[in-house]
Each structure stands twice: as C-alpha cells, then as structure tokens.
Structure 1
Amino acid sequence: MYNLLIVDDEIHVVEGLLFDLNKDKLNISEVFTAYTIKMAKEVYDHHPIDIMLCDIEMPQGSGLELLAWVGEHYAATETIIITSHADFAYAKEAIELGSLDYLLKPVPTVDLEKAIEKAINKLSQKSQFNHYHKFWSQHHPLIIEKFWLDLLQQTIPSNEKAISEVMKERNLPYSKQMKFILLLLSVQRWNKDMTIRDQKILEYALKNGATEMIIDESQTGSFVQLDQNRMLIIMAVEPEIAGMPGDLRSRCNAYIESCHRFFYCDISCYIGMPVHAHEIPRMFDQLKALERNNVAYNNKVFLLKGDTIQPASVKLPDTELWAALLKKGAKEAIISEIASYLEGLVSSNQIHAEILQKLHIDLMQRIYYVLNLKGIQAHELFSDPVSAELSANSTRSVSDMMIWVRHVVNKALKHGEVESVVDKVKKYISLHLEDDELTRDKIAAQTFLNPDYLSRLFKRETGLSISDYLLHERIRMAAELIAKTEMPISQVAGSVGYTNLSHFTTIFRKYMDYSPIEYRQRKQRCPDQ
C-alpha cells in the first residue's frame, strides 16, 4: 500500500482529485492534502509519502521549488506535476527536477490513474530487485560508470581474472556466468537551435526516456556518457540468453520515434550481442565501427548481427573533372557531380565512412590546387570557425558531407571570381583614399590574394596597375573637392592621402595641368570647364 499527497492551493481541485481517486484500485492506503508548500512540508515531517501530486503555481511559492526540496530530502518519492499551464519551460524544469509525469488540468480520471499506476510500478520495481540488481541500483551511479569506463578504456585488462580481481577490490558482486548487452545511442544532429542549458535538459530527458522505454522491468541498465552526443547502455541479461531479447528492437524504435518527435533530434541505436564482461571492450569497438560507418541513415536501429556495414572496395570519382569545373567556376556543376556520386553509393548500399574521408581529402586537394593557380591563400578562406566545424563534421554522414561541399565550393569560387575581386579592390580604395600608407600589399590582404597575382589580374581587367588606379582616384577626388568645396588645399591633400602639400601640388599639376589654386580659380570662373 502507498501514501499519496495532493498539493494545490485550489480547494475545489483537491476535492475533485479526491473524488476521482479509487484508492482500492490504485492500492492507496492514505491520501494527505496540502494547500501551501509549508503545509506539504509539515505532512512530510509526520508521514512517509510515496507519491506526490503537485500544482506549479501557488500563492506562497512555486510547486517547482517544492519539487526540488522533495528531490533533495525525500528522493524516494515519485512526483507528478498537475498544472493549468501548457508551458514547455515548466515541463523542462519539471523533467530536470525529476518529475515522473506532467498533467494538464482538468485531469481526466484515466490519465490520473495511469500516472499514479506508473509511479506505483516504478516504486514496485525498486522493492523487487534481486541481490544483483539491488547492488547496481543502490551504489552511486558514478561508481558504476567509473567501473565500466575503466573496462571500456582497458584500464582494466579485458580478461576474466583481472575483472574478477577488480570487482573484488571494489566490492562488486561478480559471476563468470553474467552476460550483458550493449546499446550505443548516438545523437546524429539536433534539429532545433537551443541554448546549452536547453540541450543539457534534453540530454537528461533522453537518458530518462531510455530508462523507461528501452530497459525492461526485469533488467537493470547502467548508463555511460561517452561524450556530448553519445551514451552507452550496458544491460544485464539472463546467462542463458544467446541472442537479443525479443522486443528490444521494437522498444528502441519506439524510443527513437519519441526522441525525434519530442526532443528535436535524429538519433540511431546500435545493439550488440550478449557477451561476458571480459568481452565487452571488443563488442564496444564493433558497435563504434558500426556507428562510424553509418553515414547514410538517420533514426534507425542497427543490430550488430545482420546489419553490419562492411566497407567495400569502391571506385573513387575522376577528380580531374572536378579540377576542370573549379577552374571554369562551374559551381553548380561540381556540386551536382559530387551529389550524384554519393547518391549512387547510397542507393547501392556501398557508402561508408572511409569513402567520405577519401572524398574529403581529394576535393580539398583539387580546391587547393585551383586556389594556388589563382594566387588565393587557402588558409585565409578556410581557417574560420564555421569552416573548421563543417570540415570536422563532413565525414559523419552524406548530408554533412554535402553541407561542407557546398560551403567550400561556394567560398572558393566566390573569392576566385575576377569581377568580384576587382570590384572589391576598387571599393576598398575609394573608402581608404585618406590612408597615406595604402599599398598594394595592404590592398591584397583584404582580398586574400597574392599581391603579384592581384596586380596582374587588376591590370588585365582595368588596363591600369593598382598604384596607377590609386593615383588617378586620389587626383580625381582631390579635383572634385577643390572645385565644389571651400576646403583649404592642405585639407584636400590630407583627405586623399598626401601629407606633404608641396608633393601634392606637384602631382596635381602633372595630371591636371594646373596647380590646385589655379584649378579652383578656373572652376569658379568657368564651372562647366
């Protein structure tokens, strides 16, 4: 029998819940009520509470505060939130604080009974573990996780004798007959922009969801967080089991569907075969290889036996064609060529991680070659954080590869287009005429081009060297200022990059046939000349 506490500041809500509850059916012995957080804490002081139904918004404090307090002082209590607010922020915080369920008012009797039965089942599981399961649940999870990490990283040698000795040293029960199934859960991508805090909450929700949906009531699973997007479940199974439990794949499929629908992520599950403890490192390596070579499919369950992706010998594409397309600036053509090649491998089930790695290397080789021909410095284009991240992720999947391909091809050809480079130089010069230290090298640095190559390119397109064009622009702008403003000649000289007035006057006379003062006087007498 179980004790239930209802906490809500609305008396009619409490009375309604009491009326709907079938205590005998739900195996409830006592129901306590409280209308404030203070009253709820007083109930805890005098009575053991197994299940708590709690509203969120109350006049003397938030139900989430009470949830946190219960989690700290009475962790055995299963909590269920009831609220009038369908607010995702509330739901996230409730999940983070350990709430078992989240119900919206008015709560249908069926939903209420299901939530309470869910809490009772969870409480019942805790009291029905055998000696082995009791041990693994009672010890601090970090101790268990540390043991498995040491085994996976082979800090503990993977042989029966060494494992037996370490378990004995750490006071862990162990039998040679024990078997375990490994499940590698891998988040392939998050499909929604989130803060770090939101992602942490959803990672916590993923773990809770796996506990409820994947691990059978008769089993105990230990979780090992491998990195930000991967976790390993190590499930103890009956020694006589030789294969995978019958409904494990369907449970994993249901879990994946829920994660994709509610937690905004693509996730795949890789399931190993039952093995003894000393065989776990080898099994883990096989699951990692299976995950690494899954570059084509999202939201799928893979079984090590039957779904293994074997790297095949595949003919790589002709990269000479890629180089020719890059030199011609045929952006869409090269992207289409690579996409067609990858689609063909996916449809024939020949795609794997090694192919993407080779493709990545070959494409970069061709891009570097073409950039070098054009005098473009590759590190100036691809050393930014976005390029680095896309490159690092490109071999994870076909879709990630194509995102990276579009990025590098677009960026390489954008900076290699003659017209855009020349226009960029002209614009930069017009904005920096007052800079008396404006040089060819300084201008080239803005375009990521070799100075010599930029000079040849600019002269071919404009008929002028960069220095001649700069001089002409300075004199043109100076003439405009002299003719149309009353600005002193010394200021005009400074505004177009001349610090020496005498030198400015000499250069101006050479190109305009008049000194600056004579030119102003002439324009004042005859504005149209």
Structure 2
Amino acid sequence: MRILLVEDEPMFRKGLAKMIAGLNTGWEVCGEAENGEEAERLVELLCPDLVITDIRMPLMDGLELLRRVKAAHPDTAVIVITGYQDFQYAQTALRCGALDILVKPCGKQDICHVLDKAEAVVAVKREQRGREQREEARRLDNALRELFLRLPCRPDVAAILERRICGTKLILLYIADYSPDHKQYAKKDIPLLQFAVLNIVGEVTRETQGDAGCLLIVETGCFALFIKELSEEQQLQSAIAGSLWSFLGLRAELQEAVAVDALEQLPDLYEERLGVRRSGAAAGGLPASALSREEAAQSLPDGASSRMKQQMIAEQLAELIREGNLKGLKECLEQLTEAVCASGPEVRKLEALSLGFALQETARRQLEAGYDPGLLTARIERLHECGSLKELREWLAEATGHFSEALAEWQNKYGGSSVAAAIRYMEEHYASRQLTLAEVAVQAHLSPAYFSHLFKKETGRSFVTFLIEVRMEKAKQLLAGTGLNVTEVAGIVGYDLPNYFAKLFKQYSGLTPKEYRKRHQS
C-alpha cells in the first residue's frame, strides 16, 4: 500500500519517511511533497492509498488539500499532522473527512497506530469496491445476454454497453456436445465446463491478441466473444478450438468475426449465425446433453461474477507477493481454501476451479511460471472426478502446493543475487539525492515492496538504514582524507541539508563531523 507524505519541513518529512520504511509493514512511501499544490498533482499521478499531510504549509494548506483529495478521490485515506497549537484545525480536519490526527512530535508507536487503522480502512474499502465491481459486471452481462435474446434492456445500461461493445468484432462460439464419448461428463458438470471454457478462451485470446476481450455465455453452449482489435483471426480461432479440445475434450464451432456497429444487430447476428432461438433450441439440433429449459437456466454459471472474483483473488495474491508478506500470503491461501470447502455442494467445484485459475494467473504474471497445458488438463480432469469433500481438499492442496513451488523457485531466482546487484548499484549511486527504494528495486527486477522485504531478510537492515550506512562510510573517508568542509561533504554523499547530515552522522558514528575529522585526520 502506498503513502504520499506532504510536509514543508524537509527534516521532519525525511525522518518520517525513514521511520515508515523501517517499520517493515505493508506500507511504502511512493512520493513526497512540500506543499498542497504539489501534493494535489502527485495524488493524480501516483494514486496513493493514504496521504499524510501537515496542516500549515505554503501555497495550499493541509485542510484545503484534504477537501480536494476527498472530493476527487473519496476512497483515499488522509491523516493530518498538527502541532498542539493547531488543535482547533484538527477538529475541522476530522469533520472534513480526515481518518485520524497525528500530533507533533509523533513517535514510532503513533505512526504504527495510524497505519494499522488506515490499513483496516483501505482493506474494507477494497472489499466493498470489489463487491460493487462484481455486481456491476453481473448486471452488464445479464443485460448483454438479454439483448441477444430480444429481451428489453434499460436505456442507461444500454448506453454503457453501447460504449463497450460498438466498434468491436464479434465471434460466436458453439459447444455442440458436452458429453463426448471419450469423456465421462454428466449434466451436473456443465457449469464447471462452461466456466473452464470462459477462462481458456480468455487466456488464449489474451495470449494471441494482447487483450482477453469481452466474453459472455449467452445460453448453454453458446458464447459471444467481443474483441476491439482483431488480428490473425484464423490463428485465434484455431488456437481456441485446439485448446478447448486438448484441455476439455470439447469440440467448438466458431463463426467468422463480424463488426458490431449497433446493439440492435446482436439478436439478428445471433439467430442467423448460430440458428439459435429464444426457446433455447438449435437449428442444427440440441447439444447432446439435451438439457431441459430449467436445466439450461441452472447450468449457466454466474460467469461475470465468477471471473471478477477470480481477478480479485489474483490481485489480492499479487499484492501480498509485491509486499513480501509471505505470512499473509500463506494465511490468505488457507482462508481461500476454507471458503471453497464451506461453499454449497452445487457450486463447490466451480469455486475450486475459480481459485485454481486465479493461482495459475498469479503464478504466470507475478512469479514468471511457465504455462503447462498438460498440467491444466490433468487438474480439470481430477477436479471432475472429485466425489467428496476430502477429495476436493486434496485437489486444492495440490493446486496451492504447485503455486507455493512456483513462489519458492521465484524467490531463489531473485534472492541473494538481486540484493548483491542492488548493493552494487547503491554504492555507485549513493551521491544521488533522489536515490529511492523504487529506483533500486527496478535494478533488481522486483517490486519495491518485495524488494524491501527481501533486502531486509538478506542484509538484516532496511533499505534506508543500509543507504545511510553507505553514505556515512563515504563521509568518513572524505572527512578523514580531504579538506572539504561539512557542507561540501554532505552534498557529495547525497544530502542537501548539512544539519540533517550532521544529525545522521552523529547517530551513526557517535561523533559530530567536526569531532570525527579532528580525531581521524592525519
């Protein structure tokens, strides 16, 4: 999670940033500003989860910044720093939406308290936002399905779909038979299979087109894929059909892509190209699974909600990895496993597959894991064969185990060698006043949060502490071996403020710069 610090006093701001970096929490300082105007621009640029701002500042004070941030970004938490003499302003800040107040001078315990409070608030808002996004995705999917089936659609929802769909290319896909002879699928497996189809088609489309597009189950066995920029259509169709056959053993018929210029086209295109009528019958014959209308309705998984939930799980896991919060990651996997097992028997396999796809997506995107089609096929087949809760738990344990193995391999790859490279970079660039954890993390090919965790694990010190040590050792050499004054030495080792440098130097060496020079200069 990201913090923007806003404080016009450089020494206090830098000290606060150092303190936060040394807490080893999930928070990182993503930017600093010395007045409200600069901070307002950085909020738009950096999108922090939390803004910690002083009240009294030039150009724009903290109260005005608070009002503007809450108006433009209501989910961004704001904590206000104040002195005892400004406490009446603090009351105003709370009325304007500040999460909490920090009174100067504030210690480590005070900072930990407000950061814990902010973390809880951010987590609740993210969960709420996730629920709202899933509900919105479900609403839009249902509305789009209704348009295909010539059912009425609310004008405001139609306007959203118009912007989303018009100008895309539509490919209609039909699964003719959900019970092929070489597979032992039953009617109860159709929701699971359809969810697997959604994920496989989305993954293939993302791999070949760079975008997963918009994918919808219209009716049982009938899918609509909308793509904004379609290239190599034949290659895409072959890849989709081949993947569905190799992974699931299902044959798919794909229609040639057609441009969508208006929503009114959808029902005609659907009926003409697939021969499907609102009754659910197909001109070329029903799917071999021969579902009744009631069974067909029940077989439609809540695709939008399930895929959105899958994405939210993947994002949650990715954030824990980026933060280096391995304990939290383990607890999260345990909680997700228990949530699947606690779900109803009718959706349990669907929930398990959703978690499995989320783990696979996270491993590929965050941990550089390879894509193993054979492993995916085997997992889906084993999930299909699970007949008891015990067997499902074993399947989930295997899925989370593969994920943990990918995590361990990734950690080994970016372990000591990455930290060693980072240390070399710091020793070469210590004089840069703008040298940040984020910049060094890029050199190590890691996210700032995970790099911070790994660096402390390998060196026993935080990034900030280690950088100060490097700079102080260089300063010792300059003080003992040159005639440069303290201000010049401070500038050479990366500090604009000689007083701040002198304070850090005494904390590090036990002597002021002048005392050190007097004792060590020959």
Question: In which range does the TM-score fall when normalised by the shorter chain?
Answer: under 0.3
The two structures have a TM-score, normalised by structure 2, of: 0.26
The two structures have a TM-score, normalised by structure 1, of: 0.26
Bigger Cα Rg: 1
More helix by share: 2
The one of the two structures with greater contact order (alpha-carbon pairs below 8 A, sep at least 6) is: 2
